[in-house]
Structure 1
């Protein structure tokens, strides 16, 4: 059943969110899940680079395979999640990812974790992550009132930021100092913790009623596509696609640039990537205040331009000196701050402008178009690194990320004010 005023705290009393047991369970579960996911995103590529000595093209393929489920499954999953309870979807996705990583650890111990096995593991984890992420993006709106979404998202995204601190650092350190089996096992344990926490959520969710003649999945997918394409979320979708395409390309080059061009260790790579976490914590705090003061549109455009633009500094760095390390940490801190400010704000915009019965499909459509570009971006990054060299490829892909704030600035999204009006409900 839907939340009532008696069991959902007032938006003006944010500390009461933490007294609500189901909100705490969701917060703990998604924190653990994100920690496992961020560790895994570093463990698999670093193992391929440092242990299997793969080339730029092979690393691009590995990352593309892990991201391909977003393109293949997002729309279907979005249609299904609108008919399911998000709690059920998230717990089974966590259980599946824990099993996959456990199997990878066993293979690594037996010496059988080569590139083919890595590709299978990356695809399986990516597919299950699609289920978790789409359900997660729809879960909060089923637990709290619409006027609580910014504060609720700020709290949840803050915990995701903490995962960004620990996940990459933990993954990089374990691969570099210990072993891949240990790294895989640690990641699996975080998914187990998430499973145990989220399955304890007790509140019923307001899902759509089952119809005597259920609407076909294909029709529901088309309805979701039309809602996003014809409405105010179209600009969010296009900006997300531009960002994810070039970010995936840049990240592929970045993971090669740090160890091979700047000659830093796997542990240092993890530390540098983890620097986005403290910045993201600050971004989450800012996201709870700035949109209500300056307007959602201006905050989105400005934060995206600053966060993406700072990455242009990285290709200018040389060597592995303390100054270079400090610069990398600073760049990632700034990127984390403004990137998180964008993430929280755009999530609140999407949730506030979407009817309850369309939440899953809207999230999945934006994920499909946005994250669906990531496999192509990863392939492009590997190709550019192979053909143009790491430094040039990094400069080009980092510059391409600025297309996202340009698209937002040229759209009605830039004119969103301090208050987001709720839409009419739809089935």
Structure 2
């Protein structure tokens, strides 16, 4: 049964940014999310490389694999939002971590037994993606239930630093394990990270301020409809949806072609591919740190538009790469760093804006609706990227996909997001039905 309301938790029990690292529960949350993100970013590299290097997947098959892993966003995001708004985020994150550990463990066992085929990999990729949808929605709602609204930007900056650390280590570790050891070990490493996250988040003891359940709670479909209407009617959240949709579709297409371009056009090993992807990590770490300062100095709108244009535009240089390894690797590291910096600056700032304009009882559904509208297009983007690579070639396909990423900063520049100032906007009204 759903947990009893914890809305009576006092403000003094919430985390103050100045005391984040002195709080044992925050350290457990930080460690758990870092481990979970590390497992996710390792798996995002390992599973496609496993398909390309071990199962000899074609461009079309790789696009299908990525699309299947991303399909749960389209199918389950709205349901996840309605679920999270009624349950403790800690419970959701713990259960999904356990499930992802078991799913990746099954992939490792199939590899060891020699029974892993493309169909089995597709099934397990879907399972991991489905569980990740619930974890990510809970992750986005968890901070709002623990810190004051006027400290969301700093809180997000602190927690998003863990995502940056995962981006540094995950891709490099995944590529190195696939190249130097074996596919089962590479996959098993992701399972171990999810298990560590499970153990850490499970130890959190702080009472969570779950929105109070009404005496006659509306049905799930009604709660989902409330979330959709709330986001569509809010001009800021509507702009976030459109910008996210444009970016996620084009980015999914770009990454599908990019992985093939690095391994088959530039002839880079799995280790080097991992290093190129990991370069986004240090940039993201810098972006998460500056996200706590730049919006307050230059305004949230200008930071969003400029960071998106910089981070997305840098991929336009990649199709021009030719020549030796000594030239390609530094260029790819630079591209990854700039993309990570701009992308993380956008992520932290936009998440704080979204959280600030959304009432507490709508946080899960608002996050899920934006995830559905944005990342729900990633399966189509992955399939589109596979078609581009197959029909137009890797170099031209990558250029077209990368150009599509520039739609996101254009949408931001033409929307109310561009006019946001130094102060976060105030919460909008929400439906009272719960």
Answer yes or no: same fold by TM over 0.5: yes
User: Which runs of structure 2 are paired with 1:216-365 in the superposition (5 Å)?
Assistant: 216-231=219-234, 232-365=236-369
Structure 1 residue corresponding to 2:13, chosen from 7, 10, 14: 7
Q: TM-score, normalised to structure 2's length?
A: 0.96
Asked if 2 retains the 8 angstrom alpha-carbon contact of 1:357 and 1:425, the reply is no
Residue of structure 2 in register with 1:33 after alignment? 36
Residue 94 of structure 2 aligns to a residue whose secondary structure is helix
Q: TM-score, normalised to structure 1's length?
A: 0.97
1:425, CA displacement in angstroms? 6.0
1:277, CA displacement in angstroms? 0.2
1:4, CA displacement in angstroms? 3.4
**Aligned residue pairs: how many?**
424
User: Which runs of structure 2 are paired with 1:57-72 in the superposition (5 Å)?
Assistant: 57-72=60-75
Residue of structure 2 in register with 1:76 after alignment? 79
Residue of structure 1 in register with 2:147 after alignment? 144
Q: Deviations over 1:350-381 (max 9, x none)?
A: 11110000000000000001000000000000
Asked if 1:109 corresponds to 2:115, the answer is no
Gaps of 5+ in 1: none
Residue of structure 1 in register with 2:398 after alignment? 394
Residues of 1 paired with 2:429 and 2:233: CA distance?
16
Residues of 1 paired with 2:15 and 2:120: CA distance?
47
Residues of 2 paired with 1:140 and 1:9: CA distance?
9
Residues of 2 paired with 1:121 and 1:74: CA distance?
18
User: Which runs of structure 2 are paired with 1:180-219 in the superposition (5 Å)?
Assistant: 180-219=183-222
Gaps of 5+ in 2: 1-5
Asked if 1 retains the 8 angstrom alpha-carbon contact of 2:73 and 2:129, the reply is yes
Asked if 1:121 corresponds to 2:127, the answer is no
Q: Deviations over 1:95-131 (max 9, x none)?
A: 0000001111110000011111110111000000001
1:320, CA displacement in angstroms? 4.0
How well do the aligned residues superpose, as a CA RMSD in angstroms?
Answer: 1.1
1:23, CA displacement in angstroms? 1.6
Q: Deviations over 1:199-234 (max 9, x none)?
A: 111112222223332201111111101111110200
Q: Deviations over 1:256-307 (max 9, x none)?
A: 0001000110000000000000000000111010001111011000000010
Residue 6 of structure 1 aligns to a residue whose secondary structure is helix
